Chain A
Amino acid sequence: MSPELVLLALRLALALVLYAFLATTLTFLWRDLKSAALATDVAPQAYLELLSQPALGQIFPLGNLNLFGRSGDNTIVLDEETVSSHHARLSYRGGQWLLEDLGSRNGTAVNELTLADPMVVTFGDEIRLGNVHLALKAGQPPIEASADREER
């Protein structure tokens, strides 16, 4: 093979690799986009049950995005002194429940494993926010419990 043809093959190869780089990047971006689109799925019915004080056994139905904390602008207000004002976030993304700590003082844990980064939680997992313990449960929240909540 003449040197010219070797060079031609090399030029062809490097153009292919260059575009492979672009294609790989774009594929990754496409996957990101898809998982972001999945993340906007409507969450299936699920609820949290309070396993500790302030109101043992209380039920909290979950939406797509749930914010926990002591202050009134959270979707789920936990009035307990070890809970920070904006403590944690539980969101449904890509078919999974994702728990994130929002920089709370006393930390967030799943099954007693302290969170450093966002973590996926599944049904039956125990979530601890400060000293408040909650369990993630699947299905329709028990009716009397949600009625009980409306009374509050």
Chain B
Amino acid sequence: MLSDITSGGRIALGRRESRLLWIAFTFLTLTGITIALAAGLDSLRSVQHMVALPAWGLAAWLIHRTANRYHPLRDPYLLPIALLLAGWGLLIVWRLSPGLGARQTLWLLLGAGAMVLILRGPPGLSWLRRYRYLWLLSGILLTALTLVFGVNPAGGELRLWLGCCGVFFQPSEPLRLLLVAFVASFLADRKLIERPVSLTRDFFPLLLAAAVTTLLLFAQRDLGAATLFLAVLAFMIYVAYGHPVVLIGAGLIAVLSAAAAYQTLDIVQVRFEAWLSPWINASNSGYQIVQSLIAVASGGVFGLGPGRGVPAAVPLVQSDFVFAAVAEEWGMLGGLAMILLFALLVGRSLRTAARRKEPFAVLLSAGIAIAMGLQVILIVGGVLRLFPITGVTLPFVSYGGSSLVTSFVGLAFIVHLSRARLPGAGRFALPVLNVQILLSVAWAAIVLSLGWWTIIRADALTSRTDNLRRRLGSLVSPRGMILDRNGSPLVSTEGEAGEYRRSYRDPAGGSLTGYDSLAFGQAGIERQMDPYLRGEIGPKALEIWWSKLVNGVPPAGSDVRLTVDAGLQGAAALGLEGLRGAIVVLDAVTGDVLASASAPSYDPNELDERWSDLIVRTDAPLLNRVVQGSYQPGMAVAPLLYAWSVAEGLIEPGDAAPDFSVTIELFNRTLACSAAEPSGMWSAALANSCAGPFVVLGERLGPDGISEAFAAFGLSIPLDIRLTTALTQPLELSDDPDVLGLEAIGQGQLTVTPLHVARAYAVLAGAGVRPSLSIVDAFRAQEGEWQPISTLGTEQVVLSPTEAQVTLDSFSTYGGDFVGYEVEALSGADSVAWFIGIGPAGRLVVVLVEGAEPALARELGLGLLELVKDLDLAPAGD
């Protein structure tokens, strides 16, 4: 406005400032009300943070009035931005902890008082400039005192505070500002006397002061402060002399000293490791950064709303990680606004430096601005995993009295030196502009990484089981049921909103359904189908989005229907009682898993009481042996290789098999035919599980043949099922005949899960086709229709129906209806018994019992075949 330049200009400037302050106050009031409503308005706790508003108003009014009186031509944007940030921070601290909030309110008033005093002080800040050695010494002395008398009010390892009577003070915060003032004053004197740069005269006292300070901070292991100080020093020398070589040199020194610190200081090592690979250290050294990123991601674009998130899940959220709380509750929009506010504040401060002509004013304002900018970039970048954590506070926002007061004092210096309109550029404008450009690049990087975590990586992060919010959400938003194929519930949600809990019907069903526990995370179907059960995935995407926006949690979850038959499942679990083993019942035609029992199992209802016992038991009850137990298949691979070789034309069932009487010695056991067989044909070798001929067959098939056969039956490829399965190692066979022979009798490298075996035998039971497995059949949103869930794999034709039948012809028959195959496999000194039984219509049972005779497995299997024979397997649910 043209009129601003008139003598009325100062009034216009003051008006701008007060208008911005009023907008800031409106924002803070709305935030305060939102936090109060979010807490439920039923206790004092929910409204006491409103004390922050009048306190902030008082501070803002005092500062604004003083500034109007003593600095009418100041930059009118500095104060409103800084005060908005301080008020925002104050509300966050109150919201996180009312005790800390009350303290922080007092510190805010103290900071405002300090600011008023400085603003009333003489122009030019000569008092700061003239007594620079005194100021610096007192700062160093105070910090040195913490070496002896240091405490940590939070009880942590770093003792950086001086304290008495409940008030604590961190001298390294003001020390940073005093150092900036010292360096500015020192360099300004050198700049006033224009003469060639001399290393000893111009830099020796400076480098000495820098070295003492840095050593002191290192001794205190306050590495964040040390790093920050050295960076600010380098930037200030650059501004004073304008040589880019200063910055390049400082960058090199920084890299070298970082490498040295990594080698010598464990705290640096831990932080660096946590930064590089937080995910694998998510429960120890990477916990803080992972929780921080989860908090940021949980906020998404719009945030969970002030007072509605769980920022306390991030350790140190009130100080170093306060930006995580901002991003969680105010969302990406709030985080972005905060970054923009800081960028504006730093940018306006640098503008003061660029426009002033006196070296001290330039260097002081540039130093303070750069220190603030770097501090924000380091810590926000740390929270967003752009840099390792440096352990500095977020100026104006973080909890911490020393930090807040120091920030206000630094701001007072800049306001003191600022002018709303200084025409033209000062003599240091070019280096200051370059610093501004460098910082802008950093701001842009921070904004991009904020977008990365809140938009692109949000789903992956929020669905992690160590996301506390998700588990707390299941208390207020009911989780869907898990039903069997006939619609009878296996798992349901009981109780009232706010205290929903899971109820598991089958006390031995843990191994299949898994658990959903606040304390221990998730497993089994509960884990695999979590997005459906929690309501994250459903047919009405808009409804889900709305519910998450308004309530912070998805709507009531969908029910999930399994292919499992509850009765059969119960019978299988009963059969395994007291044993260690697994039973799978599979419909070989459709690939539906009809029962999947593992023993020993556990009761998910009693997880909290039994957990410590469950995780140490050597019989591994938490392991779902059906898909996670890796066993030697033994001669269970023989029928498969036989069928494959017949199909390939390698052998004929009626041909004579070699090496009939050869026995194999393994683990002090002798593997031979189960019965003397006079005919000597391949079909008899199979029927009697004769190891000798199959060793020869393995040599004939060669490494490629065996690998091909195993892959065709799916033994060496991962299970295509919605359960957490054992890792399947790829086979690498040499052409050593001994290796091939052992592989062909299932005593080599290949290990399989019972479900692998079931899927492979389904090729024989299902006329040559390997089905795609399915354990989850459909889901149903609340008040919705059942919607099918697709299988993960596809069917594969492996054999012709006749080739499959030829193999089954050699199996034992039981009661006319069933055929079966039983073997014992060795695993070191232990043995496991396998029984594979096939009934009419391709219904298949695989029984595995650890350390038992095959007869026991057969008995269990035949019992289940009897049950499954009469089971009505109409398409599930209809």
**Most chain-B Cβ atoms within 10 A of its Cβ — which of A14, A39, A91?**
A14
Proximity string of chain B (335-346) to chain A, C-beta cutoff 8 Å, 1 when within and 0 when not: 001001100100
- For residue A53, CB closer than 8 A to chain B, the reply is no
A31 touches B1 (CB 8 A): yes
Q: A7-B37, A10-B34, A15-B333 are in contact. Are A22 and B305 (CB under 8 A)?
A: no
Segment at the interface with B among A67-75, A112-120, A134-142 = A112-120
A18 touches B6 (CB 8 A): no
Enumerate A3-50 residues with CB–CB distance to B below 8 Å: 3-8, 10-11, 13-15, 17-22, 24-25, 28-29, 31-32, 35-36, 38-39
A10 touches B24 (CB 8 A): no
Which residues of chain B are near A11, meaning CB under 8 Å? 34, 302-303, 305-306
A10–B306 CA distance with the chains assembled, in angstroms: 10
| Option from B30, B31, B340, B549 in Cβ contact (under 8 Å) with A8 | B549
Segment at the interface with A among B73-81, B106-114, B591-599 = B73-81
Proximity string of chain A (70-109) to chain B, C-beta cutoff 8 Å, 1 when within and 0 when not: 0000000000000000000001011110100000000000
Which residues of chain A are near B19, meaning CB under 8 Å? 24
Which residues of chain A are near B330, meaning CB under 8 Å? 15
A20–B340 CA distance with the chains assembled, in angstroms: 13
Q: Which residue on chain A has the smallest CB distance to residue B546?
A: A8
| Option from B4, B10, B333, B334 in Cβ contact (under 8 Å) with A117 | B10
Q: A6-B37, A14-B27 are in contact. Are A93 and B5 (CB under 8 A)?
A: yes
Q: Which residue on chain B has the smallest CB distance to residue A19?
A: B337
Q: Which residue on chain A has the smallest CB distance to residue B551?
A: A4
A126–B295 CA distance with the chains assembled, in angstroms: 67
- For residue B33, CB closer than 8 A to chain A, the reply is yes
B421 touches A32 (CB 8 A): yes
**B340 CB, min distance to chain A CBs, angstroms:** 6
Q: Which residue on chain A has the smallest CB distance to residue B21?
A: A21
Enumerate B593-650 residues with CB–CB distance to A below 8 Å: none
- For residue B790, CB closer than 8 A to chain A, the reply is no
A133–B7 CA distance with the chains assembled, in angstroms: 22
B344 touches A7 (CB 8 A): no
A117–B76 CA distance with the chains assembled, in angstroms: 17
A25 touches B550 (CB 8 A): no
- For residue B20, CB closer than 8 A to chain A, the reply is yes
Which residues of chain B are near A117, meaning CB under 8 Å? 7, 9-10, 72-73
A85–B303 CA distance with the chains assembled, in angstroms: 61
**B233 CB, min distance to chain A CBs, angstroms:** 30
Which residues of chain B are near A93, meaning CB under 8 Å? 5, 423
Which residues of chain A are near B69, meaning CB under 8 Å? none
A94–B5 CA distance with the chains assembled, in angstroms: 9
B2 touches A21 (CB 8 A): no
**B735 CB, min distance to chain A CBs, angstroms:** 68
Q: Which residue on chain B has the smallest CB distance to residue A26?
A: B344
Number of A-B contacts (CB under 8 A): 99
- For residue B16, CB closer than 8 A to chain A, the reply is yes
**A125 CB, min distance to chain B CBs, angstroms:** 13
Q: Which residue on chain A has the smallest CB distance to residue B549?
A: A8
Which residues of chain B are near A38, meaning CB under 8 Å? 2
A32–B4 CA distance with the chains assembled, in angstroms: 9
Which residues of chain B are near A20, meaning CB under 8 Å? 23
A24 touches B2 (CB 8 A): no
Which residues of chain B are near A118, meaning CB under 8 Å? 5, 7, 9
Enumerate B555-606 residues with CB–CB distance to A below 8 Å: none
Query: Chain A's interface: helix, strand, loop or mixed, by majority?
Result: helix
B26 touches A17 (CB 8 A): yes
A18 touches B4 (CB 8 A): no
| Option from B6, B37, B77, B303 in Cβ contact (under 8 Å) with A119 | B6
Q: Which residue on chain B has the smallest CB distance to residue A120?
A: B6
B7 touches A119 (CB 8 A): yes
Q: Which residue on chain B has the smallest CB distance to residue A21?
A: B23
Proximity string of chain A (40-65) to chain B, C-beta cutoff 8 Å, 1 when within and 0 when not: 00000000000000000000000000
**Most chain-B Cβ atoms within 10 A of its Cβ — which of A17, A21, A28, A32?**
A21
A35 touches B27 (CB 8 A): no
A139–B323 CA distance with the chains assembled, in angstroms: 60
**A65 CB, min distance to chain B CBs, angstroms:** 9
- For residue B38, CB closer than 8 A to chain A, the reply is yes
A18 touches B549 (CB 8 A): no
A147–B31 CA distance with the chains assembled, in angstroms: 70
Which residues of chain B are near A120, meaning CB under 8 Å? 5-7
B5 touches A35 (CB 8 A): yes
B550 touches A5 (CB 8 A): yes
Which residues of chain A are near B73, meaning CB under 8 Å? 117
Which residues of chain A are near B33, meaning CB under 8 Å? 10
Proximity string of chain B (458-478) to chain A, C-beta cutoff 8 Å, 1 when within and 0 when not: 000000000000000000000
Q: A14-B31, A17-B26, A117-B7 are in contact. Are A24 and B20 (CB under 8 A)?
A: yes
Q: A21-B27, A32-B421 are in contact. Are A10 and B334 (CB under 8 A)?
A: no
- For residue B84, CB closer than 8 A to chain A, the reply is yes
A131–B777 CA distance with the chains assembled, in angstroms: 100
**Most chain-B Cβ atoms within 10 A of its Cβ — which of A4, A18, A96?**
A18
A8–B84 CA distance with the chains assembled, in angstroms: 22
Q: Which residue on chain B has the smallest CB distance to residue A2?
A: B550
| Option from A6, A22, A95 in Cβ contact (under 8 Å) with B341 | A22
Q: Which residue on chain B has the smallest CB distance to residue A31?
A: B1
Which residues of chain B are near A7, meaning CB under 8 Å? 34, 37-38, 305, 308, 550
A64–B672 CA distance with the chains assembled, in angstroms: 111
Q: Which residue on chain A has the smallest CB distance to residue B547?
A: A4
Which residues of chain B are near A119, meaning CB under 8 Å? 6-7
B30 touches A17 (CB 8 A): yes
**B347 CB, min distance to chain A CBs, angstroms:** 10
Proximity string of chain B (68-106) to chain A, C-beta cutoff 8 Å, 1 when within and 0 when not: 000011001100110010000000000000000000000
Q: A4-B551, A22-B340 are in contact. Are A14 and B30 (CB under 8 A)?
A: yes
A96–B9 CA distance with the chains assembled, in angstroms: 14
Q: Which residue on chain A has the smallest CB distance to residue B32?
A: A14
Q: A24-B19, A93-B423 are in contact. Are A8 and B550 (CB under 8 A)?
A: yes
Q: Which residue on chain A has the smallest CB distance to residue B76?
A: A28
A18–B306 CA distance with the chains assembled, in angstroms: 14
Which residues of chain B are near A96, meaning CB under 8 Å? 2, 5
Q: A29-B77, A35-B1, A94-B5 are in contact. Are A21 and B34 (CB under 8 A)?
A: no
Which residues of chain A are near B80, meaning CB under 8 Å? 21, 25
B337 touches A18 (CB 8 A): yes
Which residues of chain A are near B84, meaning CB under 8 Å? 21
A96–B5 CA distance with the chains assembled, in angstroms: 9
A25 touches B5 (CB 8 A): no
Q: Which residue on chain B has the smallest CB distance to residue A25?
A: B77
Which residues of chain A are near B341, meaning CB under 8 Å? 22
A117–B24 CA distance with the chains assembled, in angstroms: 30
Which residues of chain B are near A14, meaning CB under 8 Å? 27, 30-31, 34, 306
Which residues of chain A are near B16, meaning CB under 8 Å? 28
A96–B150 CA distance with the chains assembled, in angstroms: 61
Which residues of chain A are near B305, meaning CB under 8 Å? 7-8, 11
A22–B77 CA distance with the chains assembled, in angstroms: 10
**B548 CB, min distance to chain A CBs, angstroms:** 12
8 A-B contacts (beta carbon < 8 Å): A10-B34, A15-B334, A17-B30, A24-B23, A25-B77, A32-B420, A36-B421, A93-B423
Pick the 9 closest A-B CB pairs, nearest first.
A14-B30, A17-B27, A10-B34, A21-B23, A94-B2, A4-B550, A18-B337, A11-B305, A17-B26
A binding-site residues for B, Cβ under 8 Å: 3-8, 10-11, 13-15, 17-22, 24-25, 28-29, 31-32, 35-36, 38-39, 91, 93-96, 98, 117-120
Q: Besides A7-B308, A22-B337, A120-B6, 16 other CB < 8 A contacts? A: A3-B37, A7-B305, A11-B302, A11-B303, A14-B27, A18-B337, A21-B24, A22-B344, A24-B23, A25-B20, A29-B77, A36-B421, A94-B5, A117-B72, A119-B7, A120-B7
